[in-house]
Structure formats: C-alpha cells, structure tokens
C-alpha cells in the first residue's frame, strides 16, 4: 500500500483540493515538502507528455513515488488550441486576462463555441507509469462573467449549467471539474490496486 505520494505542485489550494478527494491513508507531499524548488521542464507538446516529464523528473532526482498533472482548454473551432499552451497562449507569463482576451478575439464570429477542459495525470509508483484523464465539456461564451476561480474560468460554461466556472464558486466547480474527475480516477486506482 502506498502511504506517501508527492504531488508535483507548489499550489497549496490544489494540494488541499486533491487531498480531499484522495483517501487520507495516502499522505500527499508538495514539492516544498521534499525541498524541491527546481524549475521543472514542461516542454512536451501534449498534456500527457508534460505530466510524465514532471513525474519522471521527481522520481528520477528525488526518488519519491509521485504524480503530476497538466491541464488545457481545448476549443473545437480552434483545432483544440490553446490546449497544452493554455498558460502561455498570449505569451510567456501566464497572464490570465491576456489569455482570455486572445481567446475571445480568436473566437469572434465563430458559431461553434464547443470547448472542453482536459486534465492529464501521470503517476509513477516504483518503476511503473500510469495515466489518468478528466474531461468536462462546455462552451466558450462571448464575454467574461464572474470573479471567482482562475485562468479561463470567466469564459467557460460547463454543459448542463448556466453559470461560468467563475460564477459558480469553487465548491461546485471542484466537484465537477476536469481536475476533480482526473483525481477521482487516480483515487479509485490507488484504493483498488494494492501496491507494496
């Protein structure tokens, strides 16, 4: 049974959100907890590739069993862009406002507004690698709505809802989101596959 896993993140909110979903028999450690302050490369051209790069980096250099995630917004009318480049769509610096404004510009006049958030998680236990995925379908609206959340939340409405992720608040979002779905897959795997 795995009792300790590194989650390759320094985002305390993410760590808490994920620990909430994963059984507390598994203690999650952040990168700071293992004294890792490296700039871990995310140079792959797929979400799965980046998640694997991050997880392998930690496993190889720090020796911990570990998982890492990568998320992107995939817009049908833009051939799945911004996808793996979501954080830097409008340039380096992860400027959420600039990214959203660019997205709204690219979507001007497009009738097909279908989009999805997709999260890939790569898990490494001993020498085995596993991938998990979470997807939420929805659409990109034509203007920003709502203040909560981060990233593209103000311009994304999940299917079956009338509010954007930024309007619905974190409690509901964290129950239905791409990340929550991927983490639930991971949690199910951890609880049903006994590891030594």
Select 69 or 185, whichever has its Cβ closest to ligand IMP. 69
With tokens 């990340």, the residue in question is 179
Select 72 or 124, whichever has its Cβ closest to ligand IMP. 72
Q: How far apart are CA 61 and CA 173, in angstroms?
A: 34
Q: Which of 19, 80, 94, 101 binds ligand IMP (CB under 6 A)?
A: 94
Site for ligand IMP in 137-156 (CB under 6 A): 149-153
Q: How far apart are CA 40 and CA 168, in angstroms?
A: 32
Q: Which of 28, 36, 75, 87 binds ligand IMP (CB under 6 A)?
A: 87
With tokens 């980046």, the residue in question is 50
Q: Verify binding: residue 67, ligand IMP, rule CB under 6 A.
A: no
Nearest of 53, 182, 167 to residue 117 by alpha carbon: 182
Is 95 part of the annotated catalytic residue set? no
Q: How far is CA 18 from CA 7, 15, 27, in A?
A: 9, 5, 11
Select 59 or 152, whichever has its Cβ closest to ligand IMP. 152
Q: How far is CA 194 from CA 3, 22, 157, 166, 187, in A?
A: 11, 15, 38, 38, 12
The 22-61 contact track toward ligand IMP, x by CB under 6 A, reads ----------------------------------------
Q: Which of 57, 67, 132, 165 binds ligand IMP (CB under 6 A)?
A: 165
Q: Which of 71, 164, 167, 174 binds ligand IMP (CB under 6 A)?
A: 71
Which residues have CB under 8 Å from 52's CB, separation 6+?
44, 68, 122, 129, 131
Q: Per the residue annotation, which of 45, 69, 70, 126 is the catalytic one?
A: 70
Q: Which stretch binds ligand IMP (CB under 6 A): 25-33, 57-65, 86-94, 140-148?
A: 86-94
Give the burial class of 8: count Cβ atoms within 10 A of its Cβ; 0-12 exposed, 13-18 middle, 19 or more buried: buried
Where does this chain bind ligand IMP (CB under 6 A)?
69-73, 86-87, 94, 99, 117, 149-153, 165, 177
User: Annotated catalytic sites, by residue?
Assistant: 70
């Amino acid at each position: 049974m795995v009792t300790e896993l590194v989650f390759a993140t320094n985002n305390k909110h993410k760590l808490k959100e994920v620990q909430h979903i994963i059984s507390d028999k598994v203690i999650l450690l952040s990168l700071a907890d293992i004294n890792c302050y490296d700039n871990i490369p995310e140079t792959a051209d797929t979400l799965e590739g980046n998640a694997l790069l991050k997880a392998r980096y930690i496993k190889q250099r720090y020796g911990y069993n570990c998982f890492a995630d990568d998320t992107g917004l995939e817009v049908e009318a833009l051939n799945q862009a911004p996808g793996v480049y979501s954080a830097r769509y409008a340039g380096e610096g992860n400027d959420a406002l600039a990214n959203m404004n660019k997205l709204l510009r690219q979507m001007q006049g497009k009738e097909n507004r279908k989009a999805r958030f997709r999260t890939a998680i790569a898990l490494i236990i001993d020498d085995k690698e596993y991938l998990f995925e979470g997807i939420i379908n929805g659409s990109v609206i034509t203007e920003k709505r709502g203040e909560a959340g981060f990233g593209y939340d103000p311009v994304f409405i999940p299917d079956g809802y009338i509010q954007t992720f930024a309007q619905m608040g974190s409690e509901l979002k964290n129950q239905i989101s791409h990340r929550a779905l991927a983490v639930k897959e991971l949690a199910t795997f951890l609880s049903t596959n006994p590891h030594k």
